């Protein structure tokens, strides 16, 4: 019962967010929206699967110096990464290397990977994790 209430609450929250961001609220003026990413899979093709109870969003401003590395890790929950400045190179097991630049977004999943700033300027990104209370959003070996 609790699981179905949590799922219903999540659906209502998502529907409200879509309504607001799609311009469905009366009285808006000067608003412009741009869909940066809409996906049901990670950048490497894994299907997104959301927790079914005790849902929790975690937003992280992620900064990486030129030449810096995040280190090998994975995410057991879906996330969205939006690169604000610079560029981020992602190396994932068994996948081609991918480079994301300012203004681009992608989703990562439960696959071992590393992020590298191979650019000359600091990289900044906004990451939102859709996880569950008390559960990690990042796992390291």
Strands 87-92 and 113-116: antiparallel
**What whole-number distance in Å separates Cα of residue 78 and Cα of residue 90?**
16
Model pTM score: 0.73
Residue of higher predicted confidence among 63 and 53: 63
Q: Check residue 35 and give its pLDDT.
A: 84
Both tokens of 118, joined, read 């191979």
Rg (CA), the chain: 17
Helix (H) or strand (E) holding 90: strand 87-92
3-state secondary structure labels for all residues of 52-85 = CCCEEEEEEEEEECCCCECCCEECCCCEEEEEEE
Q: Check residue 53 and give its pLDDT.
A: 83
Q: In the predicted model, what is the mean pLDDT of the chain?
A: 84
3-state secondary structure of 131: strand
């Amino acid at each position: 019962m609790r699981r179905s209430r949590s799922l219903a609450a999540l659906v209502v929250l998502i529907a409200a967010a879509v309504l607001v961001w799609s311009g469905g609220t009366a009285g808006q003026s000067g608003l412009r929206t741009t869909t940066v990413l809409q996906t049901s899979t990670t950048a490497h093709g894994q299907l997104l699967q959301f927790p079914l109870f005790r849902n929790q969003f975690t937003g992280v401003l992620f900064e990486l110096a030129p030449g810096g590395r995040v280190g090998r890790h994975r995410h057991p929950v879906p996330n969205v990464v939006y690169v604000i400045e610079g560029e981020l190179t992602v190396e994932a097991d068994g996948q081609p290397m991918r480079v994301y630049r300012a203004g681009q977004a992608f989703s990562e999943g439960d696959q071992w990977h590393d992020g590298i700033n191979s650019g000359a300027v600091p990289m900044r990104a906004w990451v939102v994790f859709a996880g569950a209370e008390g559960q990690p959003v990042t796992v390291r070996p």
